[in-house]
């Protein structure tokens, strides 16, 4: 369902109510169009938390950068609020070309994780992520379960690898040196994560 609001007073009140309740933390603005995102479900938030923890152990604990579960990412500094996205998990290495402006980052993260939820617009964001030169992006789809890895080639962000259920082949991030694959789990499919450099293994 799409709701178009032309009454500025109603718009301002609705945005103020969402800000006061914290419901706006996943909202985005796409070229001056305010996109209200629903709160993600339990499984979505569990995946975000576990990806953040695992990547934090790989990246942050090694002093190689920062891992953020949700952050404003824009393609501009002036009037950044008119065009930004909020990835589920973003990794900024110490060598990143993106610039931290505290409230937002300008430029693409080195690695992004996006968890697909019903009726969201994850794949519609790919053009934006490509334009700001996000180096790699992992999409986790859950209906059906599937992993998709996109890698910037200097011009855009094409799909370079996919993995279904279950998959013996690893999908490897050249940016982080991390490998992922889907495997059967007791209650839902699990994502195996392997970091060859440290010989560590996790199951998300």
pLDDT band at 168 (very low <50, low <70, confident <90, very high): confident
Looking at the chain, the whole-number percentage of residues with pLDDT higher than 70 is 89
Domain co-membership, 28 together with 49: no
Domain co-membership, 35 together with 92: no
If we measure between CA atoms, which residue out of 140, 164, 160 comes closest to residue 152? 160
Number of domains in the chain: 2
Domain co-membership, 94 together with 134: yes
Domain co-membership, 76 together with 13: no
Question: Is-contact 204 58, C-beta < 8 A?
Answer: no
Q: What residue numbers bound the domain in which 140 lies?
A: 40-203
pLDDT band at 201 (very low <50, low <70, confident <90, very high): very high
Give me the CATH number covering residue 58: 3.90.1570.10
Q: How far apart are the first and last CA of the chain?
A: 32
pLDDT, the chain, mean? 92
Count of other CB atoms within 10 angstroms of residue 103: 11
Q: In this predicted model, what pLDDT tens digit does every residue of 8-42 receive, in sequence order?
A: 665 677 667 666 766 566 688 888 888 877 788 99
Domain co-membership, 13 together with 57: no
Domain co-membership, 165 together with 118: yes
**Quick one: CA torsion of 23, 25, 31, 36, rounded to 10 degrees?**
-20
Residue 100 CB partners (closer than 8 Å, separation 6+) = 92
Task: Identify the bridge partners of residue 30 per DSSP, sorted by sequence position.
Answer: 33
Question: Is-contact 159 148, C-beta < 8 A?
Answer: yes
And the tokens for 47? Answer: 């995946």
Given strand 190-195, what is the order of strands in its sheet? Answer: 171-173, 178-183, 190-195, 200-203
pLDDT value at residue 119 = 81
Q: pTM of the prediction?
A: 0.89
Place of tokens 């993106």: 98
Domain co-membership, 48 together with 109: yes
pLDDT value at residue 132 = 99
pLDDT value at residue 1 = 46
Q: In this predicted model, what pLDDT tens digit does every residue of 105-117 receive, in sequence order?
A: 999 999 999 999 9
Place of tokens 């440290």: 198
pLDDT value at residue 134 = 99
Question: Strands 171-173 and 89-93, how do they pair?
Answer: unpaired
Domain co-membership, 7 together with 85: no
Backbone angles phi, psi at 39, to 5 degrees: -65, 135
Q: In this predicted model, what pLDDT tens digit does every residue of 55-102 receive, in sequence order?
A: 999 999 999 999 999 999 999 999 999 999 999 999 999 999 999 999
Domain co-membership, 16 together with 81: no
């Amino acid at each position: 369902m799409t709701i178009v609001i032309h009454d500025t007073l109603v718009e301002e009140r609705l945005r103020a109510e969402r800000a006061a309740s914290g419901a706006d933390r996943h909202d985005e603005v796409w070229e001056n169009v305010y996109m209200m995102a629903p709160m993600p479900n339990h499984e979505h938030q569990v995946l975000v938390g576990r990806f953040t923890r695992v990547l934090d152990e790989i990246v942050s604990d090694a002093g190689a950068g920062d891992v953020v579960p949700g952050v404003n990412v824009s393609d501009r500094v002036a009037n950044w609020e008119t065009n930004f996205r909020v990835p589920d998990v973003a990794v900024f290495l110490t060598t990143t070309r993106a610039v931290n402006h505290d409230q937002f980052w300008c430029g693409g993260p080195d690695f992004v994780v996006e968890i697909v939820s019903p009726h969201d617009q994850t794949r519609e964001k790919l053009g934006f992520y490509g334009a700001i030169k996000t180096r790699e992006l992992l999409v986790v789809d859950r209906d059906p379960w599937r992993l998709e890895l996109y890698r910037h080639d200097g011009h855009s962000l094409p799909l370079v690898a996919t993995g279904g259920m279950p998959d013996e082949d690893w999908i490897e991030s050249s940016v982080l040196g991390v490998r992922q694959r889907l495997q059967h789990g007791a209650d839902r499919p699990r994502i195996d994560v392997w970091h060859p450099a440290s010989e560590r293994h996790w199951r998300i």
